[in-house]
Amino acid sequence: MAGRVVHFEIPIDDADRATTFYERALGWRAERWGPIEYWTIDPGQGEGIAGALATRDDPSSTVVIYIDVDDVESTLREIEAAGGRRLTEPRPIPTVGWNALFQDSEGNTVGLFQADPAVTFPG
Question: Could you tell me the CATH superfamily of domain 69-123?
Answer: 2,3-Dihydroxybiphenyl 1,2-Dioxygenase, domain 1 (3.10.180.10)
Decide yes or no: CATH 3.10.180.10 for domain 1-59: yes
Give this prediction's pTM: 0.82
CA neighbor of 42 nearest in space, from 32, 34, 31: 31
84 residue type, one letter: G
Using CB atoms within 10 Å of the CB of residue 21, give its burial: 0 to 12 exposed, 13 to 18 middle, 19+ buried: middle
Domain locations along the chain:
1-59, 69-123
Check if 1-59 and 69-123 are the same fold.
Answer: yes
pLDDT in tens, 23-42: 888 788 899 988 888 999 87
pLDDT in tens, 52-78: 999 998 888 899 999 999 999 999 999
| Phi, psi for residue 47 in degrees, rounded to 5 | -65, 150
| Range list of β-strands (E), 56-123 | 64-68, 85-86, 91-93, 97-103, 109-115
